[in-house]
Amino acid sequence: MKKRYIALLLLAVSIPFFSCTEDKQKEPMLIVKFRFDPTQERLNNLGQPTAVSAGNAAQSPVFNTISSHYIELAPNANTQLGTGEIIYRAPETTGGGDNAIDFDRAKIVAQGETFLKIPLSQVAAGSYEWMRVSLSYQNYQINVRSDGADYSGTLASFVGFNTYISSFNIGNNIFNINGNRAQGFWAFGLNDHPYSTSGQAPAGATTVPNPIEATSPIPRALNTCVVTGKFPTNLEIDGTETNDIIVTLSLSTNKSFEWREVNADGKYEPAAGENVVDMGLRGLIPTFTK
């Protein structure tokens, strides 16, 4: 009888514990993921369809991973940069002198992986029409030509306003930087071959599509890769949600890796002096599910 009493007592004590745990697990979350689409429309800085510039060539890279520095929900087209609901900001550092994104602490994800997961209770209730995403790092596969032969390789592309990098690797190729690098820094390594190189795209050349530039401009002087996109229907958050909201950020990779041609053959030939001029993503379409 005594054993039965103790068992019932333990059961009674455990019920509130499990109930609290269950309630905590059910807290609705805002989840953000990335998607890469080489068929999505290719846009310019004003969010208008555009072709590859005369004298240049481009290819649609195959993305491995990506990282973001800043994510903001904007209620309407008049919402100025920084005055919307900022839901994410990456770690920064002055370890290299000027303030910069801290690449050592950046969160880097592949397509479909969760980049951000925060309680919906931390997001201000409202109706959001636009999404702003400041991209900072891209890692993808590209094709190159050298001495008439075609190769594939991996390119690490740093498109944030300024990035502090200690070191990183592409395969067996190690890049020791230990300093800041401006927007447009890149490093490249051939797959399965002992060759690597790095370089810098021209200042201010990174495309940053913003369809609402007329009402909510992104100051070019900031050199920040804030890509802006409109939800098909407004994202409504009223604070009574019981389920997660998953936001998918579809990025246009349509000919997003662009270079200046020396040999007009549509092949990227760095050995021939063909230089990278633009690595900006070519558009953003945010969608959500509840």
Beta strands 162-170 and 173-182, pairing class = antiparallel
Return the exposure string of 92-125: e unless at least 16 CB atoms fall within 10 Å of the residue's CB, then b: bbeebeeebbbbeebbbbebeeebbeeebeebee
Asked if residue 23 is part of any domain, the answer here is: no
DSSP 53: P
How many Cβ atoms sit within 10 Å of the Cβ of residue 245? Answer: 18
Query: Structural domain tally of the chain?
Result: 1
Per-residue confidence (pLDDT) for residue 21, from 0 to 100: 47
Q: Which of 147, 138, 146, 152 is nearest to 189 (CA)?
A: 152
Contact 82, 219 (CB under 8 A): no
Q: What is the rounded CA–CA span in Å between residue 157 and residue 136?
A: 8
Per-residue confidence (pLDDT) for residue 192, from 0 to 100: 85
Q: Which of 140, 256, 261, 137 is nearest to 189 (CA)?
A: 140
In the predicted model, residues of the chain with pLDDT beneath 50 are 1-23
Asked if residue 10 is part of any domain, the answer here is: no
Asked if residue 75 is part of any domain, the answer here is: yes
**128-169 pLDDT per residue, tens:** 999 999 999 999 999 999 888 999 999 999 999 999 999 999
Asked if residue 230 is part of any domain, the answer here is: yes
Dihedral sign for Cα 276, 223, 213, 123, please.
positive
How many Cβ atoms sit within 10 Å of the Cβ of residue 22? Answer: 9
Q: What is the rounded CA–CA span in Å between residue 114 and residue 248?
A: 10
Asked if residue 12 is part of any domain, the answer here is: no
**Domain of 188?**
29-289
Asked if residue 11 is part of any domain, the answer here is: no
Per-residue confidence (pLDDT) for residue 224, from 0 to 100: 84
Q: Count of alpha carbons within 13 Å of 40, Cβ hemisphere only? A: 20
Tokens of 92: 């920064």
How many Cβ atoms sit within 10 Å of the Cβ of residue 246? Answer: 16
**Tell me, what amino acid is at 231?**
F
DSSP 195: -
Asked if residue 69 is part of any domain, the answer here is: yes
Per-residue confidence (pLDDT) for residue 271, from 0 to 100: 87
Question: Angle 182-187-191 (CA atoms, 0-180°, nearest 5)?
Answer: 165
The model carries a pTM of 0.89
Tokens of 169: 């690797």
- The conformational region for residue 240 under phi > 0 = left, psi -120 to 50 = alpha, else beta, is alpha
**Span between the terminal Cα atoms of the chain, in Å:** 51
